[in-house]
Chain A
Amino acid sequence: MDELRELYQQVILDHNKNPRNFGELANASHHAEGYNPLCGDRIHLFLRVADNIIQDIRFTGQGCAISKASASIMTSLVKGKSTTQAQELFDKFLQLITSDPTQPVEVSGLDRLVVFAGVREFPLRVKCASLAWHTLKSALSESGAVVTTE
């Protein structure tokens, strides 16, 4: 039960119910689609990038609480950041959710992403948590291909 509370923290449940930056972005310069074939989760990510800064970012799609909260928190965090900073944050996030659950969490630079530390206990849910981030990476690389978590 404690592990479940850790996974489904209040912040995550709140973002699941009231996702921030939800919707399409009319004047997007970048777009990518992410798909998790395991559960059918889908995300569309829209960005407006200028001078290497993510000026605006929004998303649509459907998914579990973890993937929706991840997209919501990710969009809130990377807005206004440079693309390089976003990539650094992604690396730190991935490190967090795949790290050894018996070791203490390394929190530096993670900001609100710390709420996803509980994912470490649920290896099957790492893909849910990282889908939005993989999609962000794809959008920024402008590859245009649908990103899957497989």
Chain B
Amino acid sequence: MSPHSTAAARLEVERIRRDFPILQSRVRGKPLVYLDNAATSQKPQVVIDALVYYYCTQNANVHRGVYYLSEAATRAYEGGRETVRRFLNAASTREIIFVRGATEGINLVAHGYGRRHLRAGDEIIITAMEHHSNIVPWQLLCEATGAKLRVIPINGDGEWIWEEAVKLFNPKTKFVAAVHISNSLGTINPIARLIRLAHEWQVPVLVDGAQAVPHQPVDVAALDCDFYTFSGHKAFGPTGIGVLYGKETLLEKMAPYQAGGDMIKSVTFAKTTYNDLPYRFEAGTPNIAGVVGLAKALEYLRNVGYDKIAAHEQELLDYATAALATLKPLRIIGTARTKASVVSFVLDGIHPHDVGTILDRDGIAIRTGHHCTQPVMEFFNVPATSRASFAFYNTTREIDALVEGLHKVIKIMAA
């Protein structure tokens, strides 16, 4: 127990675990040890119940029907938008756009903002620790416009090299897209500092917050970011739903991304008038149940409390880092000063996939592979890593199980 934590402020992890039905399950005859939260998180019963309740009592299409159910569904959907607005501290619900996930949020901005505002010779700055989904949309944009990609390099600890970042900015810089917390290294980036730097050059910034929202509060007003996107499923909500926040002034300047459904105000064969924000960017029937579930997940997160979550996760990270250090052939990839609860590692002479398979037989789920950050793997000169990523419902006992499992891996592979 950390000397600073008081009994009252501590997260009661055993009670929290009972909120998540899947955590009570057994896998291959062993209690599930789920340590792949950076890929997707588990869902609390309240979120599952919200989905069931919505489908049992409110299901109808939104914004169209003049009958009771449509009104109920619309209220649930728009209520969810208000929940997200408050969660992110956005100025208006006009700035909250529902998308399928962070990936779609990024694509929407690359397409809607990028194609309209970038020209040949312009430069887009990203960073060397981006997820593929925050690299490829910008590469496509570069192909379409003739703009160029510039990449902020990282050091051996997995941190941005700030002096190099500063040097990349110039009058040709027209957009910045950067990750808040790295999924493969755990690095918590100085995103506010990057946003301030970009704004000195009058350059808008998109933040990929997929790994941040599950771990720490995000205040888009305080950050002053221009766009912020995250996925519901990594934040204890359902799959297939995510959020794009955008400053109203920028969203107003964007071209529609997909066409049809709620994005339209009126259509004649001569001319189509697009709908107002945020509907302009929500083509087709939206994921209403997803929004209901996401809103419930965000409320749940708030109720648990980010202060307790952060304290517990820091304890898990410190515990895991120390415990893994006792394994001699193990090397941790990503040793930034400020880290979220992600530990990526390689075992000397043992491929991560063999690690993953052997741990799985003990019911331990970790991620093995390149984590969709191949440039990061290339930088550290490893084909892949094993990654244990924690949520607030994980325990030190589960980390003990991981370490014990790794002992078994070493024993089997050394045979």
Residues of A within 8 A of B (CB): 1, 3-5, 7-8, 10, 13, 16-17, 38-42, 62-66, 68, 122, 124-125, 128
Contacts and interface: CB of A to CB of B under 8 A. Distances in A.
Contacts of B357: 4, 7, 122, 124-125
Contacts of B415: 8, 10, 13
B383 A41 contact: yes
B413 A1 contact: no
A40 B361 contact: no
Contacts of A10: 415
Interface stretch (B47-55, B322-330, B369-377): B369-377
Interface residues of B, number: 19
Contacts of A7: 357
Given A40-B383, A62-B383, A8 B369 contact: no
Contacts of A128: 353
Contacts of A62: 351, 383
A39 B383 contact: yes
A40 B354 contact: no
B352 interface: yes
Contacts of B368: 39
10 contacts: A8-B358, A8-B412, A8-B413, A10-B415, A38-B369, A40-B370, A40-B374, A42-B383, A62-B383, A125-B357
B353 to A, nearest CB: 4
Given A13-B415, A40-B383, A1 B361 contact: yes
Contacts of B350: 65
Given A8-B354, A39-B384, A64-B351, 4 more contacts: A8-B415, A38-B369, A41-B353, A63-B351
A64 B353 contact: yes
A40 B413 contact: no
Given A4-B361, A10-B415, A39 B354 contact: no
A62 B351 CA distance: 9
Interface in B335-353: 349-353
B175 to A, nearest CB: 28
B361 to A, nearest CB: 5
Contacts of B351: 39, 41, 62-65, 68
Nearest to B414: A13
Residue of A7, A16, A64 ringed by the most chain B CB atoms within 10 A: A64
Residue of A7, A40, A63 ringed by the most chain B CB atoms within 10 A: A40
Q: Which 8 residue pairs across A and B have the least CB separation, nearest first?
A: A64-B351, A64-B353, A40-B383, A40-B370, A65-B354, A40-B384, A39-B353, A64-B354
Contacts of B413: 8, 13, 16, 65
Nearest to A63: B351
Contacts of A4: 357-358, 361, 412
Contacts of A40: 369-370, 374, 377, 383-384
Contacts of A125: 353, 357
A68 B384 CA distance: 15
A4 B358 CA distance: 7
Contacts of A5: 412
Contact of B361 (A3, A38, A42, A124): A3
A124 B352 CA distance: 14
